[in-house]
Structures are given as structure tokens and as C-alpha cells.
Structure 1
């Protein structure tokens, strides 16, 4: 009936809310349906492994996981009758043995009817892939913007299934009640109440989007180029971000270890300052609710001057993950193959065998706009910084500048925004050879004229 995988994980540190939720949902059964006639670049076993990783991201104890072949999807349960009976019996046996499985995760989309019927058959809580990802995002969101975005996605998801209960207002933080939680009063929420809340959140996110636009305009005036990191979840983006920026962003071997975007300013070897932006990780079959909700965050990627596509080159499904990320980028109007802003970063080369390690370095060295690195060890970072330097300095002109020593503001500005290639001083002047963008040079000249005429 399916490929089985037994696994047992023990929850570690948890928030009070998460602990209460886990006490209600305890052990989980994960089922990955494989529908006949559907094509997937990943093996069913790899997809199941990813689903187990998603469960581990919120410390669920996975008691059993299986790939289930579905020859003909049933409108009532999605899974075939034999599979439903098989896993209902498995859960009954677990209950009789005192190891009840209280949660079933179906790694596929479920209609409200299918979810309800499976809950009746299994006598346990059932959530689908969207519900699981929303639960993870609900726990990971820390900023006000992130919480709004996830709540909007959760409400849109719930509205389509006539929510039975709503516990968000009664939870301390994290999650969205799909797994249960404290204060489960089973408040009945109708479409009108959810709709009102959606309208309110969209207005607030509109303000967030407006604020982000103002921030982008402010950065354009400075201006510091923005370098956005994108990639499949767990590709090592946050580790790379920390290595490049000397920051301490939470980075762990978990799917969706970080959610909210983070920005830091860094200086490249030539002295050029850029803003490094870490964004939410992508994943296969990302729910449309989330893509829409995180539009404000994804706008940072659209507006970036350079986009680093960070890949886990050591992962067995690296190519499939690359395809998923590129599909989302195309949805944002970014063509990874032809957009000059996109740089492919083959990460985790430290996990490759020696022959594959060397081959990855040679392959990326031949490519235009690609490099191989290890965010964990720092190998290859010099090459990545070199690519960034070349990209941000592209289009610069080399000009001769004669600046009085007394004009310290202009000297400081040139060092901050250009690359001083040569400098010769006499008693009153500094004669500089500077590589700088023409637009920046014109702006500086206007500022100097204003100071002189003032």
C-alpha cells in the first residue's frame, strides 16, 4: 500500500503555547500521497522526508511516516478506501497499546470534506500540507509584519473551509490553532467576521507596503545597492547571511528556521557599502495564500540590485529545489536565466565528496555570475565578494577630482560612495582618481554647488 518509515523524535525546548499544543496533538502520523499520473522531479521518499522535516520544524513527534500510492483519488477522502482502513487500524492499535497518535498530516491539499471524513475515520485531528506550513509560519513570525502576513494567509485558508474554531486571540504566540492550543473555547467564526479581519489586515499590510516603499526611496537616495538572498528553505541562507554580515541571525538545520526578513549593511573588499537582505525560504507547492500574503516581503526581492540564489548543492534534490525557486522568481517577474541581477551560489560544498567538491568549483568558475561556497567554513566567500564587487561597480567611470583639504565632506563622501584608486596631496588640495557611478557623481556635484552658493 505504501512505503513506510518509522521515526521517533523528542520535543526539545518549546514555548508555553507550543507545549500545550503538543500535549494535545502528541504523536503524529505523516502520509505522503502519490497520485497516479502526476509528475514530480522528486522521489516520493524525498518528498516524505521533507514532510517529516516540516513536522520537526515545530517539534512534532513523528511516530510513523509513509508514502501512499493513490491510483484513483476519492472525492470523499483523497486516499483509497484500503489505505484509509489500513491507517485507521494502525491508529487504533496505537491507542490500544497506550501510544495514541493524535495528529495525522496529509502531505497534500485536502478539501474541507476530505479533511472532515478523514478525521472521522482516523478519530484524530487531520491537517494538510497548507495547514502544516501555516502552523510553522505562525510560530516563526516575530515581527509585526510577519505576523500580519501569516495571519492573513491563515484567515484566507480558514475562510474557504468555514472555520470550526478560532483560537488565535487566546494564544500567547505562535501557530494558528490547526494543532490545538490553550483556551480552546471553540468560538464559532463566520465568514463575515473573518472577512472583516482580512480587510483590516490588508489595510495594515498596505501601510507596511507603503513604508517599505519609502524605505526603498530613502536607500535609493543614499544610495546603497541591495543584495537579496533567496533560496529553498534550509539551503543555508541565514548561515551565509551571518558569515557575510558578521551577524547572529538564528540559523539552524530546520526547514523555515527563520521567517522574517533581516537586513544588514556590509562593506565589500573595495570599500563599497551594500545592504544584505535575508528573505523567507521557498518550498515546493508553496500555498498560494502564503505567496499572496508575503507579497510585501517579496517586493524586496523584486527591487533588489543583486539577487543571490542560494542552493544546497549537496542535497539530493538540489535541481528540483532550484526549479521551485526559479518558478517563484518568475512569478515575481524575474527571469533567473536572463536577469543579470541573479547570481547562483552553490552552497554547502563542504558536504560534498572531494571529486564533487572540485567539480562544483570548476563548474561555477566557468559560469558567468555563479560561485561555489561553504557558508559553514567560509570557503569561496572571497569569490562571492569579488562577484558582488564587480556587479555593484559595473558602469562606473574613472574620473579625476581636485578637492580642497578643507572640503572634508566631499572627501568623505567620495570614499564612502566611490572607489579611490589613487590620491596625491599638496599643501591645499587632494588630487583623486575615483571610480564612481555617473549618477552619483552628478548628485555630488549638485550638492557641492549648493554648498558654495549658500
Structure 2
């Protein structure tokens, strides 16, 4: 991005100068690249999402956006000469300083476009990394974002060192411009990555200890997942009374938030986990970096997939979420509940039909996390899913197994208990998870 001190200071209408730092003027471009079989998504909606990403980053003033249809990608400059000239005129007319390109841009393309347009370029991966960097709050989140950013920067050193063209490796007969400096910088980044991984390992061990502590008095884990801005945090706040950041903004939640809560209406106690929102074309650096953050999803008893059912591309968003869950190797046998959120944004007749369809579809609940409509039914359904696999068993314990007996009492699973000559006979109603936890006790 352009530093604030590079801006030209201009007088206001009254002749005075406003010395407040102003936002960077940005423009969004969505390259609509034709592919055989048609488009996976409508380009206008993809541009709308990209503009929303721009608005999610503080310090940017997004003035507009353009869909650029491309029959093919031009290797050196992404766009053709005519389109580059047309966009250059538009950027000059609007005094644009930063162009956000909603897609991958190679280092060479970025360098060439910046020279042509006289602006800074940020591609989709770079923008998402900027947003994550701004939002990361926990130590783990900060470390993971920094690692992802370094991995991204490592691939773009060709652009960073173009001013060192005099410097060549060896005697200058072989090796590209700036190769010595690029390699030095690459080694520096690798050293930083090793340091960050060590720090992250320490944080991961702490999280493992926390999970082990919860396992001693286990509660079912209910993980909320979904496309970014689907309303997960709003639902989380509704169920827990917590004050998690919930805004109509992409990536309003970054770091995972967990609360132990008794579901209203006499429901079971659970650990409710709110997670970072998913998004199409999520940078591979971030998928890898945030795998640890999503560990609670991997160990969840129920996964609630929260969908913005009012969005025109809700089915495509659903496919993106399922693809990421699959890439995380989430167990397909874990019960899943699909939550059709934001029914309050739909016309009344469509809303009524949608609620009826949800009632007739297995493991689907239609709700509005804002108005509370349908939330009671959702809570009841969660209670059924968490206790539905509970079974009755008889357990014999010797007198010496006092710790195991105390654990069963804390779980509240004992329905009947009697004492014999050699120990206790207990009739318990428990889930497979509770049985496994019991068997692991010493």
C-alpha cells in the first residue's frame, strides 16, 4: 500500500488544509476468465464479494469495481493492451492509488501492471492476508497469519528486488538480476518461518493441555462453521449471551471463540465453538496455517453448517464450505446440522415456503439469528442429536475405582446404583463419546 506521507495535500474549498490521515482510494477488478462449461459463479456477485472484502480492510476507501471479461489470461500483464489503457484512464479520473484484483496475480504481472497504471496492486490472496493480519487477536492467530504472509511473500521476491539488477550471482555470467539478494532474503524468510513454527508449537501444546483438561469433565462440542458473513457469530451470541464481534462484514470473526453453555429450555451443557468464516478460493497458505485453529471442528460432536439462505449464491457457498471441510479431513460420520439463517431477509411468501421445506428435510433448521425465529426449534434439535445416541448399560466397579465412580456422577449419567460385596453396580445412560472417555480413565 502507499504510505500516507506520499499523498498530495490539497486545500479544502475554504483554502484550509485538512491534515487528517485519509483512506487509500481503491478500485476492485474481478477478472472474469472464460472456462469451458461456463462460469461457476455470476461475475457480478463475485465482484460484489470482492468489494465487500475491500470494505473489510480498514484504511481503504473503495470507490468502485469493474468486471473484466477475459477469453484468456495474458501471461505478462493479465489484461490486453486496450483494456489496460481503458482502466488506466479510469483510475486517473478517480485518483485511484490501489487496485485490488480479485484473483491470482503473478509477481511479473503485478510488476508490469504497477508500471503501466502507476498504482499499487494487491491480489485476492494479499488482500485476505491483510484482513486477517488486521483481525488476528490471539497469540496463535497472530503467529499463523504471520507465517502465511511470509510464505506468500517468499513467492514474490522477484518483484521486491527488481531495483537490484546490477547485482548478479557468481561472476555475472549466470544467474538472474538480483539473484544474490533474492536468495539472501529467501533464507531470512525461511529462518523466520522456523522461529514462528517453534512458537506456534508451544501455543499448540498449550491448546492440547486445555483440551485434555476439558476431556476430564467432557462436554459435547458443537462447532459453528459456514461461509463468511453467514451469521455464525450472531447465532453464537444469541445462544451464549456472549459479546462476540458480529457485524455485516466479511471475516468479522477470525480467532476461534469457545463458550461452555447450557442450551436454553433444559438442554444439555455443551461447548459452543465459533470459527473463522470460509470463503471461495481461500489462499492455500491460510488453509494450512489455520488448520490448528479449526481443530475444534475436527473433534466436534456436532457440526452446525450455518448458511446465509437469502444469498443468491447460497448453494455455491455451501459447496465451498463442504470442500474446505473435506480438505481438513473432517470425519464424514460426525453428525451435521444445516442451519438456514437470515430467513428474515426473504420475502414473506418465500420465507414461508422455505420454512416448510426445512421442516420436511432431515437435519435442516430454518432460523433468523437476529430476530430469534426458529432458534427454539434449533435448540431442541441439537438436544436430540446430542442425546439421541445415548444407550443404557450396566457397569460393575470395584470399591477401589472411586475416581471412575465420581466421574460418572459428575457426568450425571447414572440412573440406578447398588452396592454389592465386591463393589458397585451402576446402570448408566451415556453416549459413545462418554463411554470412550470413561474407558480412558485410570
TM-score by length of 1: 0.78
What does residue 99 of structure 2 align with?
104
Q: Which digits, 9 at most, give the CA deviation of each residue in 1:273-332, with x for residues without a partner?
A: 110000100001001011011110122211111111000001111111101001101111
What does residue 52 of structure 1 align with?
51
Structure 1: gaps of 5 or more residues: 1-19, 95-99, 167-187, 402-408, 424-431
Q: Secondary structure at the match of 1:113?
A: helix
Is 1:354 aligned with 2:321? Answer: no
What does residue 16 of structure 2 align with?
none
Q: Secondary structure at the match of 1:190?
A: helix
Is 1:334 aligned with 2:330? Answer: yes
What does residue 376 of structure 2 align with?
382
Shift of 1:56: 0.6
Q: Secondary structure at the match of 1:379?
A: coil
What are the within-5 Å matches in structure 2 for residues 110-149 of structure 1? 110-149=105-144
Q: Which runs of 4+ in 1 moved over 6 A?
A: 163-166, 409-415, 419-423, 441-447
For 1:226 and 1:320, locate their aligned partners in 2 and report how far apart those are by CA, in whole Å.
27
Residues 194 and 340 of structure 1, relative CA distance in 2, 3 Å threshold: closer
- Aligned partner (choices 360, 365, 370) of residue 359 of structure 2: 365
Is 1:417 aligned with 2:416? Answer: no
What does residue 243 of structure 1 align with?
238
What are the within-5 Å matches in structure 2 for residues 18-417 of structure 1? 23=22, 26-37=24-35, 39-59=38-58, 60-94=60-94, 100-162=95-157, 190-268=185-263, 269-334=265-330, 339-398=333-392, 417=411
Higher mean C-alpha displacement, 31-40 vs 240-249: 31-40
Shift of 1:362: 1.8
Q: Which digits, 9 at most, give the CA deviation of each residue in 1:339-372, with x for residues without a partner?
A: 3421111101111112221222222222222211
What does residue 406 of structure 1 align with?
none
Structure 2: gaps of 5 or more residues: 1-18, 162-182, 396-402, 418-425
CA contact (8 A) 2:300 2:334 kept: no
CA contact (8 A) 1:103 1:126 kept: yes
For 1:284 and 1:21, locate their aligned partners in 2 and report how far apart those are by CA, in whole Å.
36
- In the alignment of these two chains, the number of paired residues is 388
Q: Which digits, 9 at most, give the CA deviation of each residue in 1:89-142, with x for residues without a partner?
A: 222333xxxxx2100111110000000000001101011011111111110101
CA contact (8 A) 2:261 2:270 kept: yes
CA contact (8 A) 1:141 1:259 kept: yes
RMSD of the alignment, in Å?
A: 3.2
CA contact (8 A) 1:271 1:416 kept: no
For 1:21 and 1:134, locate their aligned partners in 2 and report how far apart those are by CA, in whole Å.
27
